Amino acid sequence: MKLKIYNTKSKNKEIFKPLDSNNIRMYVCGPTVYDRAHIGNARPVVVFDILYRLLKYLYGEKSVTYVRNITDVDDKIIAKSSAENKSVNEITSETIKWFIEDNNYLNVNKPTHEPKATHYISQMIAMIEVLILKKNAYVLEDGEVLFSVNTFKSYGSLSKQNLESMIVGNRVDIDRRKKNPLDFVLWKPTSKNNIGWDSPWGYGRPGWHIECSAMSKEILGETFDIHGGGIDLIFPHHENETAQSICANNKNSLANYWMHNGFVNIEGQKMSKSLGNYLTVEDLRNKNIDGAVIRFVLLSTHYRQPLDWTNRKLTEAQNIINKWFNVTNNRDLNINGIPTNKILEALCDDLNIPLVITEMHNLLKEEDYDGFANSFFFLGFNSNNSIKSKNNLDKQTINEMINLLIVERQNARKNKDYRKSDLIRIKLEKAGVTINDHGNETTWSLKPNFNPSSLLTEN
């Protein structure tokens, strides 16, 4: 079975041909650790977790090296450190802990390597020195080092833009010290009061782009198979990363396949703190939304397309996951972790997970419960916070199921769908859930005869 990947660089779906089938290498840009991860940050984590699982299945567990970096030195981190009067290490350590907790909640496999930028400063300095020596970079009077885009003729080939359109389209600030407005920072000087390192150009710290180039080279080599990340990283981050790596390493490419996932919007709007629709994984955890449900919604739209996160999708996902849990929890199954051929075929077609979900429903219709369960586990929907035992649901899952039914009922009342609202109320009451409406707010409590299995039945 051949894996096909949509390559951002060629803008075509291509058959994946690894550099070495015994050593598949993938690098995905990870978080800048200064705040809680929002669901837009969670999408690439989940998407590339699926790809990681698939590659390991196709080529063998020990044949895949997956690197997802951590940016632990950055302007935003320093700004938060100053605002909260905490050390940079305090900020980053706490945020990394949150990130790991979120990933565990979403049942995301740990990458092979998770390098921190601050552990690779010497490699960054060495790469910058090579770029200066080869005249691809230049040093300003204050010790700032810039990459010269004019020295790389293919600049813009990944994002498919020419230099003029990039300057105009991205509103690049004119800095008269630069040879070209698009020249970007490799090393920036900073005061001794701030986090930094000694270098041949003075005390300072690396630019963002050079971090990934140095870490990927150190761990994966000068050229590797797959480079992934969000669509917002194509320009300037991945464009700059490509330019400096090719120039420093004297290679024709950095990665053979570039994969990018689409944005996440909220109810049709761009997610923004100013709009009050900024949604983090922690927010969903605090509402007892199961990790498998979050994972399902993030995968429900093809990874290259924008994902519109809505309450309706969340409710639908909860209903589906509840049914799927019921199948896997209440049957004696032959579990080997191997998905069905149709599931594999869909995954190998550029991670067509919407088709995978359709095939999962078909497996239930066909009563192929073993095939369903093995595919279910392969896709990572067996979140640790959900599956407890074959015959009972844990407290967190129960709370989550009730809360989602309450939200679904509130939406039905809002839309004047009183029949649906009444059916949900009856379902809750039959299960032993007492509900009380207070204006637009609804509270609930459990009766002594509460029966959680009733929540898994159809309305």
279-303 pLDDT per residue, tens: 999 999 998 899 999 999 999 999 9
Task: Say whether pLDDT at 329 is over 80.
Answer: no
Q: Which residues pair with 146 in a beta bridge?
A: 138, 185
Q: Are 78 and 32 in contact (CB under 8 A)?
A: no
Domain with CATH 3.40.50.620 in the chain: 4-261
Residue 459's pLDDT band (boundaries 50, 70, 90)? low
Residue 425's pLDDT band (boundaries 50, 70, 90)? confident
The mean pLDDT value for 424-439 works out to 83
Task: Say whether pLDDT at 211 is over 60.
Answer: yes
Task: Say whether pLDDT at 130 is over 60.
Answer: yes
435 vs 369: CA distance, rounded Å = 35
**Given the DSSP bridges, would you call strands 184-189 and 204-206 parallel, antiparallel or unpaired?**
antiparallel
Report the chain's mean pLDDT, rounded to a whole number: 90
pLDDT in tens, 212-259: 999 999 999 999 999 999 999 999 999 999 999 999 999 999 999 999
Q: Specify the pLDDT at position 390.
A: 32
Task: Say whether pLDDT at 449 is over 90.
Answer: no
Question: What is this structure's pTM?
Answer: 0.83
Residue 401: name the closest of 307, 283, 297, 322 by CA.
322
pLDDT in tens, 107-120: 999 999 999 999 99
Q: Specify the pLDDT at position 392.
A: 46
Domain 4-261 fold: Rossmann fold (3.40.50)
Q: Which residues pair with 259 in a beta bridge?
A: 228
Alpha-carbon dihedral of residues 364, 369, 372, 374, nearest 10 degrees? Answer: 170
